[in-house]
Structure 1
Amino acid sequence: MRSVCVINPNSSVSMTENLQVLLLPMAKECHLELAFFTAPEPAPKEIDGLETSRLSTEVCLPVLLPLLDAYDGFLVGCYSDHPLIYELQRRTDKPVLGIFQASLIAGVGMLEKAQKMVILTSNNEWERILDDSLDSVFQVDPQLVGHRNVILPTKALGINVLSLSDPHVYGQIKAKVRDLLTATEATCILLGCAGMSGLDLKLKQEPEFAGVHFVDSVRAGIQLLAR
């Protein structure tokens, strides 16, 4: 059985625990053995931009290097074009995938002709960062080349990353999804944060969102690494 290390590049243990709850049940059906890594301090509790991404890479990389021989693949659980992905890829021939890239690949695979998709992220700061990353990602990944026109500008919830799993904010998330579908032509929403993992299951059950595709980026990454 192949093994995959799921990397949480921030030091929030609760986020890793949420990922374990979500992913361990699907590990057997994907024929994978999953291990989970949480960035040690002084990695940031929350990655909210380029500076915290850089810091998390500096902290994680030396700890992860001795683990490269222990697993068959690696999933970096930060929804961004995170530098840790490329640092690991430079040091191993094993598959290293980020959940940002995984969600884009999964989303493109769900679209029919002329349909559009959109990223729903957490903080407003991520709108520009993710949009700035899209051009390079769509040019580099062979599964995405030629599909840049299917994605609309990123939209933010305006909710702190660590609050996304709070049941009290689900109403805000649902309202934002409703507004997004009304204002755009999107038929597929990419849930653009590891902290949103599992929300796709709840949103799909809402009658008002019938026919809309929701992509859980973390589960998409596991499914791609299981191929």
Structure 2
Amino acid sequence: MRSILIINPNSTESMTNGLKPLVDALHFKDTAHEYFTAPSGPKSINNEDDAAESVDHCLPSLRKHLERHDGFLIACYSQHPLVPLLKDESVIKSARKPVTGIFEASVSTSLQIIHPDEKFGIVSTGKVWESILTDATIAFLGTGSEASKRFAGVETTGLNATDLHDAPAEEVRKRMKDAVKRLLKKGKVGAVCLGCAGMAGMDEMIREACVEELGEEQGKRVSIVDGVKAGIAWLEGAVRAGF
């Protein structure tokens, strides 16, 4: 049976558990999905330094899992260094095992979903991610300033990943919806990426914001792209096709 390893590079087990219903709902029953949580290190990855630190806590333990899995998903919404580092591992290179992150998967999926006249954008957590994810998207697209033609930008909630589940629900809902509405004002946005693994399952409040801002008909047309779903779907195809 094919096997995909979903890697949470922070050390909060509850965030890993929150990914499981999303993956199960895709019904890829001929593929086994296993999960890895960082054994130590940052509880929440709130900036690039946290992401870099998480590598030291994850990579030594991950190496023993590389042989028996066919694909790998890094479940942190950033240009996480584990993506290129795993691709450099000899067991992955020699067998052409696909590796992606939820950031890369969501951007790629959005570009395929939206109309050529539309843009995609990202809703994320703390304000620090506005510049980090903007730079990461431009680097990923390789288009420099031309990225603005397809990329509406990043709006943030001011909450970190753990706050999304620990803060009062109404506060989370308000901040999420406000960020989405600001993003939708930046042009003809056809897709909204959930810019944090901790936002898993929050599609409903994103949709509410789209409908409130754009009206029923247009608001329902906006695609909501969860990077975990996008990543698993891409890996499933890549593993099956032998890309």
TM-score, length-normalised on structure 1? 0.89
> 2:35: which partner in 1?
36
Shift of 1:210: 1.9
In the alignment, structure 1 segments of 5+ residues that lack a partner are: 141-145
What's 1:14 paired with?
14
Aligned AA (2:163):
S
Q: Give a deviation string over 1:36-90, Cα, whole Å, max 9, x none.
A: 000011x100111111111100110010011101100000000111001111100
CA offset at residue 122 of structure 1?
Answer: 0.6
DSSP-derived class of the 1:37 partner: strand
Aligned equivalent of 1:107, options 100, 110, 114: 110
The answer for the alignment partner of 1:46 in structure 2 is 44
Alignment deviations for residues 142-200 of structure 1 (CA, whole Å, 9 cap, x no partner): xxxx9773012211111121122353312321232223223443221111110111112
How far apart, CA to CA, are the structure 1 residues paired with 2:59 and 2:32?
22
Hey, what's the Cα distance between the residues in 2 that align with 1:193 and 1:131? 14
Q: Distance in 1 between matches of 2:204 and 2:230?
A: 13
Q: State how 1:55-204 maps to structure 2 within 5 Å.
A: 55-91=53-89, 92-93=92-93, 94-139=97-142, 149-165=149-165, 167-168=169-170, 169-204=172-207
Q: Provide the secondary structure at the position in 2 that maps to 1:78.
A: coil
| Equivalent residue letter for 2:230 | A
Would you say the 8 A contact 1:73–1:225 is kept in 2? yes
Amino acid paired to 2:236: A
Q: 2:234 aligns with which of 197, 209, 224?
A: 224
Rate the CA distance shift 1:152–1:203 in 2: closer, same or farther, 3 A. Answer: closer
Task: Tell me if the contact between 1:5 and 1:35 (Cα under 8 Å) persists in the aligned partners.
Answer: yes
- Report the Cα offset of residue 202 of structure 1: 4.7
How many residues get paired?
A: 220
Cα distance change of structure 1 residues 226 and 87 upon mapping to structure 2, 3 Å threshold: same
* Amino acid paired to 1:137: F
CA contact (8 A) 1:138 1:148 kept: no
Matched to 2:61, the amino acid is V
Give the stretch that moved more between structures: 82-91 or 206-215: 206-215
Q: CA RMSD in A?
A: 2.0
Aligned AA (2:199): M
Runs of 4+ in 1 over 6 A off after TM superposition: none
How far apart are 1:201 and its partner, in Å? Answer: 4.5
- Counterpart secondary structure, 2:72: strand
Task: Judge which range, 47-56 or 147-156, deviates more.
Answer: 147-156
Is the CA contact (8 Å cut-off) linking 1:54 and 1:83 kept in structure 2?
Answer: yes
